[in-house]
Chain A
Amino acid sequence: MGGARVSMDIGGTFTDVVVYDETDRRHRIGKYPTTPADLAAGVLEAVASVVDQPADISFLVHGTTQGLNSLLQRRGVRVLLLASAGARDVYHIARGPRTRMYDLHFSKPRPLVPRRDVAGIDGRLDASGAELEPLDERAVRTAAARYRDEGFGGIAVAYLFSHLNPVHELRTREILLEELGTEVTLSLSHETANEWREYERTSSAVVESYIGPAVRGYLARLGDELARRGMTVPLHVMQSSGGMITAESARRRPLQTLLSGPVGGTMGGVALAAAMGRPNLIYVDMGGTSFDVSVVVDGKPDVAPEVRLDGLPMLMSAVNIHTVGAGGGSVAWVEAGGLRVGPRSAGARPGPACYGNGGEQATVTDANLVLGRIEPESFAGGRVALHPEAALSAVTGFGRALGMDTLSAAEGICAVANAKMAQAIRTITVARGIEPRDFGLVAFGGAGPMHAVFLARELGIREVVVPRFPGAFSAWGMLQTEIRRDLTEPYYRLDADVDGAELADRLAGLAEQGLRALDGEGVPEAARRVEHAVDLRYAAQEYALTVPLEGADEPARPAFLQAVAARFGKLHEQRHGHANPGAPVEFVALRTTVYGDLGKPAAERLARAEGDFPRRGRPVVFDGEAVESLIVDRADLLAGHAFQGPALVLEPTATTVVPPGYAVRVDDLGSLVIEEER
């Protein structure tokens, strides 16, 4: 094997691996159990099984859930927070909203740092960044002593207005390094998130310190081990923004790896949209315990400047992924004589009744099994042995409680789950001003293709696409991404007060800083590019929209303000349904993104079909009746093959369900394209 480009998506249960062989230009996939106790060990095993020797690897990128798990399971280090003395409670006040309106027992998301571990440090800047009161250096040294004495694992520093003037945070770092040595885990808020809003910036810095040691340790271990085994290229990691960075850089900015895993799917979506020439797609990723939705509009991922996990906000570029349901594990239950599905999930343990782990309640997966829409032998690549009789008994019991026969109950569970998922998708698109009818629906994840056609029907979407390797689509997507670094700088003023030449200089400075950062990422000069944008809003709004610029020099051009205001107006119109031409526009922040292209696999075209593919049949239930349906092995399908539902397309990682009245064709990329027959 020659150069192998390898990507890995490390999930909770399985690690998906995709290898692109640069010699024969083909993709191959593998699936390996994740080893939660020592993730690096599992990754190494997965690498070893697809590549003969690590030296063959010409490029390696992976998505890790190390940081996310450490956050969600609350297994990070004890963090000491240094905050401005007059505002030391900002982290615990947490802006005070009540997000469950009728809950008398409401409590806020649990903070990562208890109040006792916040040290108030005197020193204050004003709203222009000018110093009002010098930093209390003695208080910083006292905090350092406390860190040493009490066995903390990380420090976060977040002072008011540090995004305008980091002088106090920088001096604090000098002192802390002096006192504690250079190995201490330390996040300065202006470096983690260089934006205003002290609570959100503090929270970002705290999360980074909290998960830092776990992410750094993991990346160091993995990098060392791969190098020891002869891998010669740097290890890359996906970032929440949808771009990647070297593990080396990620160790400095571990926060960026938080959504490392799921973003691969969206980036795969961007690549697929380009390859198919379909710029507007809705992506549904349905697994055993999750149902995620993301959108690609005009060929671009939907990247937000802020994300919230477990209730805690973080200011960082992150692909918008909406988690809207519980996937195949959603439990069916009866309430006040009514049929309900979800939101509770049977999870991985005990899981659906058919897992045979003691789950007794019927789930969506059980219903699919009863309807014959899952092949028990090949579920999850044959790794999970299913017990159809347990599913049958759970669904029958559930139906009896509502006076329904077993098949009606099973179809009812699926119908309600589909309706709920479709409605969730619709609300997300309405909020963005998108009409789902005009979009295509792409389904991946183990259970996505099983439900996709039904979702499309509910939404009035005409075309459903199931890409190749739907179970490993996220890993596939990672091979399609670029190096990405995001830089942000506050820039708050009314448009009337903007000095175009000065603004252009500042953007040029950001670009230089970003390109310098790429030096360490191994990106050839010719493969680098820079994009600039500004956050704008109408005066008095709180949230801003990110408006792209034509280049760092655009602000220096004549009539820049009119041009950017018009562009902002257009975006505002798209997002909010109206614009306000002539109203004063506020600048809030500058955003510069640098990209480095390390090469991507060419879209792999599937061979054209010359003859038919092997066909067999068996009954599957649709509309209350078991109808003889076509059973197809995905591996037998070539470009140009076509067939009609009712059918099931089987592959090791997923099953695609095609109800009667729908036709399937296989396109050049090997995607199944499913449309209603006219």
Chain B
Amino acid sequence: MIDPVTVEIIRNALTSAAEDMNAMLIRSAYTPVIYECGDCVVALLDDRHRVLGQSAGLPIFLGNLEVCTRFTEERFGRDVWRPGDVWILNDSYLGGTHLNDVTIFGPVFTGDRLAGFTATRAHWIDVGSKDPGGSMDSVNIFQEGLRLGPQKLVSGGEPVYGVLDTVRTNVRFPYPTMGDLNAMIATIEIGQRRLAELVGRFGTETLRLAAEEIFDQTERLERAVVREIPDGVYRAEGSLDNDGIDLDTPVPVRLKITVSGEDITFDVTESADQTVGPVNCGVAQAVSACRVGYKMLVSPDVPGNGGSFRPLTVEVREGSVFGAQAPAACQWYFSHLGLLIDLVAKALAPALPERVAAASHGDSMIVQCAGTDPRTGRDYVSLEATLGGWGAWAGGDGETALINNVNGSLKDMPIEVFETRFPLRVTEYGIRTDSGGAGRWRGGNGVVREYVALHDCSLSLWFERSVTPAWGLFGGAGAAPPEVVVNPGEPDERRLLKCNGLRLSEGDVVRCLTGGGGGYGPPSERDVRLLDADLLDGNVSPGHALREYTARVSPVSYS
């Protein structure tokens, strides 16, 4: 038996130790993708690989670090853990994501006793793929860069120079990359210190008892929600437009959820076979995405730990897009995960109508330009994710112009920063009227972002979700899909959503429109005052209002 005060102090200390690790990583990282975009995650694990505390910069990194320590132990045996060792791993089929996501981890010893592990994963700007930073059109893992199974970076406190040198010689930007590597080592070390301090203060046994109680509390909270869901089978499916290589073949994602009492199973085995193009991920990442979808409905505010997800089982088929096998390409590992997360809410909508939301615009909507800046003579690569609309829910309209679910708290690039850095002009950046699905609660609108090339350059695009645009729920309408038009209204007008290195000439216009979010509930039930406000604010045009909300509009006032 352990007293509730000690449990709560330890619970907070573990969460805070993870936050300290995250603060250390953000503070020490060399590259903006980590310290500005937060493309990273940290965790403290107990000696049985259970999460004691974690802090994720991106939601889809939730709960997949323990896979790395567990796998290492399974492969090499428990005796492999030695004090003063630090390990590295980035194998997509183990860690689940692309090779850019590198995991660094190490055991924590107090005396000669293994107390647990600390681990961090962060996106490296380049790992030696065929194109700098990564490719949109890789067809196997060997094109995607250096691939490391678990191995030691530091052994008994001594750097393993051979491995460090292998890393250094295989990446394009060794200086910042080695900086990030060292920041990650500092991060797991601060976690090791915190965990050792806790063992010293409370003792191994108290810490273990407290952890069990903390896990049980989390499990009780989650089971109470799962219990509310009527037993049964819930299904939802959608498709990616394509795999980025074969542009005519959609990639289906199928989710079957089975609820039985306090247990819930997510089965994605009926989804597409792994593709030639890079929209594949390892099992660990499919599990993480399912956990995100689950957490958004079941326990959005509860810090994740070893008691999280106990009611959840995930079934994945090896050889599918969710269980990639070598040598499948994995660079674009997240597009189908974003769709899967939305599908969880769709499947469970009948059971949890108050908690779910209609679908979001759904993907990163990448615009990338490269060339030589005529103002400076320097080469540049611009890379932007584009915002879109989110789905409506019971009690609220979906939000307009938000980043997609896998990108967390990423911000758009200000026009003033963009035009200063790159020889391109943003001629329009605005809210895309009418793009959100109509409903009692309206889906959020996407955006319009229009560029003009001020010199000859090349354009790459990754826009998704035209085959399965955001759907509505409970009578709410679906949203407009994304559209990209090059030179709209000109004789050489072109519509496309994905391309790799398309040549643009000076004066060419690229007009990007992102999708909205789905509506919730029948449009006929929308409060007239809300519709009035939408018309006044221009979120909905009069024509759209007449078509979608006929019963609610007096055409005179807005014609």
Contact = CB atoms under 8 A, between A and B. Distances in A.
Contacts of A107: 396, 399
Interface in B207-262: 213-214, 216-218, 220-221, 224
Contact of A196 (B20, B391, B403, B420): B420
Contact of A427 (B23, B29, B401, B431): B23
A95 B412 CA distance: 5
B27 interface: yes
Contact of A540 (B32, B297, B426, B429): B32
Contact of A97 (B292, B390, B410, B426): B410
A87 B5 contact: no
B4 A412 contact: yes
Contacts of A419: 8-9, 12-13
A127 B8 contact: no
A134 interface: no
B393 interface: yes
Contacts of A335: 217, 221
Interface residues of A, number: 70
B419 A127 contact: yes
Nearest to B355: A104
How would you classify the secondary structure of chain B's contact residues: helix, strand, loop or mixed?
A: helix
B311 to A, nearest CB: 14
B11 interface: yes
Interface string A94-125: 11111111111111100000111000000000
A106 B409 CA distance: 12
Given A93-B401, A96-B411, A404-B3, A86 B23 contact: no
A431 B26 contact: yes
A427 B414 contact: no
A104 B393 contact: yes
B539 A98 contact: no
Given A106-B390, A161-B416, A576 B28 contact: yes
A220 interface: no
Contacts of A108: 399, 402
A415 B35 CA distance: 33
Interface string A195-227: 011111000000000000000000000000000
A408 to B, nearest CB: 7
Contacts of B175: 580, 583
B292 A160 contact: no
B430 interface: yes
Given A336-B221, A339-B8, A197 B23 contact: no
A430 B20 contact: yes
B420 A402 contact: no
Contacts of B183: 577-578
A580 B179 contact: yes
Q: Is the interface of A mostly helix, strand, loop or mixed?
A: loop
A416 B20 CA distance: 18
A89 B186 contact: no
Contact of B408 (A98, A416, A542): A98
Contact of A338 (B7, B23, B414): B7
A201 B306 CA distance: 44
Contact of B32 (A89, A93, A97, A542): A542
A86 B4 CA distance: 58
A519 B354 CA distance: 61
Interface string A562-595: 0000000000000111101001000000000000
Interface of B: 3-5, 7-9, 11-13, 16, 19-20, 23-24, 26-30, 32, 35-36, 56, 58-59, 175-176, 179, 182-183, 186, 190, 213-214, 216-218, 220-221, 224, 292, 295-297, 299-301, 345, 355-357, 387, 390-391, 393, 395-396, 399-403, 405, 408-412, 414-417, 419-420, 425-431, 447, 533, 536-539
Please list the 5 inter-chain residue pairs (A to B) with the smallest Cβ-Cβ separation, ordered nearest first: A412-B5, A423-B16, A96-B387, A431-B23, A115-B537
18 contacts: A95-B414, A97-B402, A97-B408, A98-B405, A101-B58, A104-B357, A114-B533, A114-B537, A115-B537, A160-B416, A161-B416, A198-B416, A199-B414, A412-B3, A416-B9, A576-B27, A576-B35, A580-B175
Given A336-B216, A412-B4, A430-B190, 7 more contacts: A92-B401, A93-B447, A104-B297, A105-B357, A107-B396, A336-B221, A576-B27
